[in-house]
Chain A
C-alpha cells in the first residue's frame, strides 16, 4: 500500500514540475513583460532598467534555475505591476472563485448524478431522451455562449438578475447557473453510461435471481459499482475548483482567480501566472490522488493490487 501511494505521489510531483516548466518557457518566449507593462512608448532606458530589475536579461536557463531556487525557499515571486507577492494576489482572489465553484460543484452533483441514474434506469423512456438531449446541449454549448444566453434572458429581457459584478449574492446566481448546467450535463452522461454498463453485468441478474427487490438491487448492487467510474469525473471536477471559472468570471466581471489569470497573462505578469498555474496543477494532482485513494476504498480488487504492488 505504501509503495502504491509513493509511486503516485512521485508521479504527481513530476506532473507539477512539467506544468510549471512549460508555463515558464512559454511565457518567456511569447512576449516582453517590460513592453507589456510599461507600454511601447516607454523610454528605452526605463525598459532596460525594468528588465534588469526583474532579471529578464539573464539567460532563460539561469532564470529557470533561479525560479526553482526561490520556490525551494517558499518564495513565489512578486507581481511586476505592483510589486506585491504573487501568492498574496492569488490568495485574496480565491474566496471569490470558491464562492462560485463550490456551490456550482454541489449543484452539478445534485443534478447530474440523479439525472444520470434515473435516465439509465428508464432507458429509452421520454425522460431518458430528454435528459440525454439536455446533456448533449449542456456540454456542446460553450460556457460563454450559455453565460451570454442567461444574461440575455434573465438580466436583459426579464431584468430579474444583475448581469455582472460582485455586489450581492444575487450577482452570483447567473455565474453559478452557467457553471452548474455544463458540469451537470457531463456528469449526467457519465453516470448514465456507468450505470448502464453495471446494470448489464451478470451479478445484477444474480441479485435479481435471488429475490432482491429491484430498488435494493439498484441501491446496494448497482450504485456501488457505478460509483467507481463516476468518481473519476468527480475528481476531475474537484481539480477545476480553483481555475475552472476563467471564462465565466470574465463574462460576469467576477473578481476571482480566473479574471486575475486573464489579466496577468495579458500583461505577462510572470510571477502571478506561474503562481496560479502552480496552484492549479497542485489542486488537479491532489484531487487525482484523492480519486486514487477512493478507488482503493470503492473497489476491493484495486485494494488487493495496491497491497501487492
Chain B
C-alpha cells in the first residue's frame, strides 16, 4: 500500500540555525501516529514545514509527498487546496486560534466554501451539522457568536469542526489538549478518536504527553533535537524502548500498576540548536554513550519490520532482541 504522506530528509533552518535536521517519516491512510518529544524538538515544525506554514525566513529542504505529489515548493494555489482540503490542522491554544472579530459561522463557512461545493443555505446547514457533530449545544444560535463567547474546550471543538469542514484525509492535532483542563482533555481526545474512526481519517497527534499518545495512537515517533530517534508501534515502544532517550522518557513515567519504583530523570538539557554536537545529539546526556557516539550522528535504521532507531547501540539491541526470540 502506498503511503498517504512520506517525508524524506526534511530539513528546516531559521536564520541559519537548523531546527529540523533530516526527518524521515511515512504515514499510512487512516493511521494514527503520535509524535512525542520535548518542546523545540521539531514536532510542530515538521508539519508546519510540510504544509508551507512556516514564516518566509525559514529555509526548508527535503521532500514531503502527499499521495505521491510533492508539497515542498508546490504552487500556492495547489497548497491552498491541500491545506484544509486534504490535510487539516488544529493547534495548541484554542483561545487565540480563531479570529476574534469574525463570527463562528463566517469562519466555518469560509472553510466549507473553499473545499466543498456548497453555497447559500447548504453552507449554513452544513456548518450547523458540524457544530452538532463536535458537540456544541444549540448550534443554530451559537453560529452567530464570536470566539470569546465560548470556553477553551468549546473553541477547540469548533476548531475540530472547522478542520473537518474540508473532509480531510489527515488531521494534524498539534498539542490539541495542552491548554485545556484534564477533564476537558479527555473529552476532546475522545471526540478526535470517534471522528477519526467515523471518517476513516489519518491523524498525527503531536504531544509531549506520552500517556495521551499511548492511548490514542497506533504508532509513535520520538523526536529529539530536530530528528526522529525512534519509531515503533505504541505498545512496543512503551514495553520495550530501544533508544536511550525513549528509555529515559518512559522511565520518567510513573507505572500505573505493579510495584512502585523510583522515577528516573534524564540529566542535562537539550543542546542549543545553534551549537549541536558533532555526533549523536543525545550523546552528552546519554548514560550509555561511547566514544563513537561523539563522532558521527547515527541515522534512523530499521531494527525490525515496523521499528526503527537512530542509535549505534541499536544494532546490538537488535541482536539482543533476536537472541531473545531465538531462545
Cβ B77 vs Cβ A213 within 8 A = yes
Report the stretch among B18-26, B91-99, B273-281 that lies at the interface. B91-99
A203 to B81, CA, bound (A): 19
Cβ A203 vs Cβ B98 within 8 A = yes
A208 to B99, CA, bound (A): 12
A202 to B98, CA, bound (A): 8
Cβ A298 vs Cβ B91 within 8 A = no
Task: Tally chain A residues at the interface, Cβ within 8 Å.
Answer: 24
Cβ A205 vs Cβ B100 within 8 A = no
Cβ A203 vs Cβ B97 within 8 A = yes
B238 at the interface (CB under 8 A from A): no
- Contact partner of A210 among B48, B77, B166, CB < 8 A? B166
Report chain A residues within 8 Å CB of B89: 209
Cβ A206 vs Cβ B82 within 8 A = no
Task: Tally chain B residues at the interface, Cβ within 8 Å.
Answer: 35
- Contact partner of B96 among A203, A208, A298, CB < 8 A? A203
Cβ A301 vs Cβ B100 within 8 A = yes
Cβ A211 vs Cβ B148 within 8 A = no
A207 at the interface (CB under 8 A from B): yes
B30: min CB distance to chain A, Å: 21
A265-309 CB contacts (< 8 Å) to partner B = 298-301, 304
Cβ B99 vs Cβ A225 within 8 A = yes
A-B contact count (CB 8 A): 84
A200-236 CB contacts (< 8 Å) to partner B = 201-203, 205-214, 220-221, 224-225, 228
A115: min CB distance to chain B, Å: 20
B29 at the interface (CB under 8 A from A): no
Q: Which residue of A lies closest to B81 (CB)?
A: A211
Contacts A202-B93, A304-B149 given; does A209 touch B100 at CB 8 Å = no
Report the stretch among B108-116, B205-213, B319-327 that lies at the interface. B108-116
Q: Mark A67-105, 1 if CB is under 8 A from B, else 0.
A: 000000000000000000000000000000000000000
- Contact partner of A203 among B76, B99, B149, CB < 8 A? B99
Cβ A300 vs Cβ B83 within 8 A = no
Q: Which residue of A lies closest to B100 (CB)?
A: A301
A221 to B82, CA, bound (A): 20
Output the residue of A207, A209, A228 with the most chain B CB within 10 A: A209
Output the residue of A203, A221, A304 with the most chain B CB within 10 A: A203
Report chain A residues within 8 Å CB of B159: 206
A124 to B91, CA, bound (A): 28
A224 to B107, CA, bound (A): 14
Cβ B88 vs Cβ A202 within 8 A = no
Cβ B85 vs Cβ A211 within 8 A = yes
Report chain B residues within 8 Å CB of A209: 51, 53, 83-84, 88-89, 91
Cβ B149 vs Cβ A206 within 8 A = no
B239 at the interface (CB under 8 A from A): no
B40-61 CB contacts (< 8 Å) to partner A = 48, 51, 53, 57
| 8 more A-B residue pairs beyond the given contacts A203-B98, A213-B77, with a C-beta to C-beta distance below 8 A | A202-B91, A202-B93, A209-B83, A212-B114, A220-B110, A221-B102, A224-B101, A304-B149
29 sampled A-B residue pairs with Cβ under 8 A: A203-B96, A203-B97, A203-B98, A203-B100, A205-B53, A205-B97, A206-B97, A208-B53, A208-B83, A209-B84, A210-B84, A210-B88, A210-B110, A210-B162, A211-B82, A211-B83, A211-B111, A211-B114, A211-B115, A211-B166, A212-B80, A212-B84, A212-B114, A221-B102, A300-B101, A300-B146, A301-B100, A301-B146, A304-B148
